[in-house]
Amino acid sequence: MLEAKQVGYTISKRFELRDINFSIPKGASIAIIGESGCGKTSLLKLLYGLYDANKGSIYWKDQKITGPKDHLIPGMPFMKYLSQDFDLMPFTSVVENVQKHLSRLEPEHSAQRTAELLEVVEMTAFAKAHVKTLSGGQKQRVALAQTLAKAPEVLLLDEPFSHIDNFRKNKLRRRLFDYLKKAEITCLVATHDSTDVLAYTDETIVMRHGQICAHAPTPRLYQNPPNYYIASLFGDVNELPAHWFDTSASPEQQVLIYPHQIGVSTTGIAAQVVGSYFMGSQYLIEASYKEKTIFFESERNFAAQEAVILGRIKN
């Protein structure tokens, strides 16, 4: 279990991590999300032992995680941290970059392990290529394989898919998180991309201004976001008067509704279309009602100025 108790760390006069508390079971995959500058990367570095906490304590199982004051080489041996900067050897091959973290005394096992990891990150075809010839996304995948080669008990990932093409990203995420589950590796991934979160993580930690403002199972947090900030991290969201869709609600009550939860109905509010955005499988329609902007999804397009009756279609 990875546990943080009342952890605090001063980054500058204007920013600090405060009152960090959580408990994460072994083998769980956890997302850390929040706006830029909220402290996601700083938290990962603190957990890895690159910083010394000003207060509180961090434990993995029964071992306390400490920083540079207690270690000549910062970082904990049972953890691995993959930052946004890749630590690769540019003039050697992909295979050599992965194998440098495996035992030279067991060449057969090393070769088998390297092949397995390159398959996970879909870099088998580039095994003999020099790293300097690779694209940014390919380098990121090599760095990921290299990190996994170190056989960590805890894996800390900072925007691990940021350089990877969309057409490859989903398959890579499935392969990676499936591998982590089978290997029972505890993983914390800091990300801006909600698609990194929803399908692949067990729980989500939300950060704002250096503090954890929510920590819950990912589906629960998505389906019942406690405020607009948290809901908006998962994508577009409407904050609207509740009585527009529920006559029993008070005029002051607000409700958070995702675009897919609103649609054209026979009863509801009479809105006017402002714009339309093709999203592939559906259109995201922007409408207006009583000077409020409303986003909803539709299988068909709507013209600007077209009148629509909107109702809540899904809870």
Out of 210, 232, 254, a domain closes at 232
d(CA 14, CA 37): 12
For 106-143, write each residue's pLDDT tens digit.
888 888 889 999 999 999 999 999 999 999 889 989 99
Tens-place pLDDT, residues 65-108: 988 888 878 788 899 998 876 778 888 999 998 988 787 778 88
271 & 180 share domain: no
pLDDT beyond 70 at 2: yes
The torsion angles phi and psi of 294, rounded to 5 degrees, stand at -130, 130
**Contact at 8 Å (CB) between 158 and 83?**
yes
CATH number, domain with residue 270: 2.40.50.140
**How far is residue 173's CA from residue 303's CA, in Å, rounded to a whole number?**
37
CA 24 to CA 306: how far, in whole Å? 50
pLDDT above 80 for 279: yes
Claim to verify: residue 13 and residue 120 sit in the same structural domain: yes
Rounded CA-CA distance 119/99 in Å is 14
What proportion of the chain, given as a percentage, has pLDDT over 90? 66
pLDDT band per the 50, 70, 90 thresholds, residue 197: confident
Report the pLDDT value the prediction gives residue 315, as an integer from 0 to 100.
57
- This prediction has a pTM of 0.89
Phi, psi at 266, each rounded to 5°:
-85, -20
Q: How far is the C-alpha of 112 from the C-alpha of 128, rounded, in Å?
A: 15
Structural domain containing residue 282? 238-312
Are both 132 and 277 inside the same structural domain? no
Which pairing describes strands 211-217 and 203-208: parallel, antiparallel, or unpaired? antiparallel
- pLDDT of 314 reads 65
Q: End-to-end alpha-carbon separation of the chain, Å?
A: 35
Q: Are 191 and 197 in contact (CB under 8 A)?
A: yes
Total of domains in the chain: 2
Q: Quick one: average pLDDT of 5-25?
A: 91
pLDDT for residue 65: 93
Mean pLDDT of 257-276: 94
pLDDT at 193: 85
Query: Mean pLDDT throughout 271-278?
Result: 96
Mark whether 288 and 143 lie in a shared domain. no
- Do residue 175 and residue 41 come from a single domain? yes
Measured CA to CA in angstroms, residue 88 lies from 30, 73, 79, 130 at distances of 26, 19, 18, 11
Between CA 194 and CA 233, with CA 230 as vertex, the angle to 5 degrees is: 30
Same domain, 227 and 259: no
Task: Say yes or no: 29 and 174 in one domain.
Answer: yes
Q: Of all helices (H) and strands (E), which one includes residue 299?
A: none
* Domain end point (choices 174, 201, 232): 232
Residue-wise pLDDT tens digits, 144-196: 998 888 888 999 999 888 888 877 888 889 999 999 999 999 999 999 888 88
Boundary (domain end) residue, out of 205, 232, 259: 232
- Cβ atoms 302, 272 nearer than 8 A: no
